[in-house]
Amino acid sequence: MSVMTELRPRGAGAGARGRSGGRAVFAREAHMLAPLAEAAAALCSGLSGDPQVFFEVPLAAGVPDMVVVTFDAAVMEARQVAGLGPVTDVSAVRTLVGLGAGATGVDDLAVAAGLSAGHLRRTVLPSLSDAGWVERVGGKDVVLLHPVRPVVSWAVAVEAKRSAWAQAVSQAHRMLPAADRVFVALDAARAGRAVGNAKHLASLGVGLATVEAEPAFGACQVAVVSSPMAGRPGLPRGHRAPKLAAKVLLGERVWELELAGRRHGPTQLVFGRDLSTGAGQS
């Protein structure tokens, strides 16, 4: 499936610069995101709902360049009625999911959440109790007061790269537990080797899309080369369900952005430098 979009790069400067094999190439990865956002429906083909696009949302593992979700209206309404806002702390989410799975004692809950019992007692449980999520009973057991369900019905994560496709695949693979679909999106002028390996990538649970700059026409063309296969490595054929804690965390973080009227997650500084896709790193 191919989608033609208007060439509208984010930030200053032209969206395409230079040529490779006679084809225009993107100057920055950030310039690929607007066309990908406009072609979100192609990446979500077959998934029902109203797609919402967000950028640079930190997951339990990795920070995809773009995330497309549909919010679960019933879950969000129940949360709002209960006065329960987004829970964006990883430890808190793991604790809630552990309680939802049946853990009650602090020691068992610590194992389920992958945390120390001391950290649970001192930090996580008091915070969740103050927020109205849990109640301590008899000083030992913990009771979950509200069901834990993802606030998103589904999620599609996209990792964009101009040329480093193997790195993109490695990063995208880390996002499989959080998303129902994962794609690598590459500059079409530099995607030849990846296209040749598209079937193999799909078997690993990673789809492939390309973005081609066509400055002569003032447009970009987004093509879905392959979609992830239904089965995941190590999971039964046809099983696509993400891990609950990872998907819950993704939903909580995009919901927080939605409530704040934002579409972009926090920029992470490394040694004082902005190394996000928006900064133009390859």
Scored b (16 or more CB within 10 A) or e, 190-200 reads bbeebbebbee
Would you state the pLDDT for residue 216?
A: 54
For residue 166, the one-letter residue type is A
Average pLDDT of span 146-165 = 94
Helices (H), the chain: 30-38, 40-43, 73-82, 90-100, 106-113, 117-119, 125-131, 165-173, 192-196, 198-203, 244-259
159/170 Cα distance (integer angstroms): 10
**Dihedral angle computed from the Cα positions of residues 234, 175, 147 and 136, in that order, rounded to the nearest 10 degrees:** 100
Residue 234 CA, chain-centre distance (Å), reads 21
Would you state the pLDDT for residue 271?
A: 39
Q: Is 209 helix (H, G, I), strand (E, B) or coil?
A: strand
Residue 136 CA, chain-centre distance (Å), reads 33
Does the pLDDT of residue 197 top 60, yes or no?
A: yes
Does the pLDDT of residue 15 top 70, yes or no?
A: no
Total-model pTM? 0.83
Would you state the pLDDT for residue 22?
A: 55
CATH number, span 85-144 = 1.10.10.10
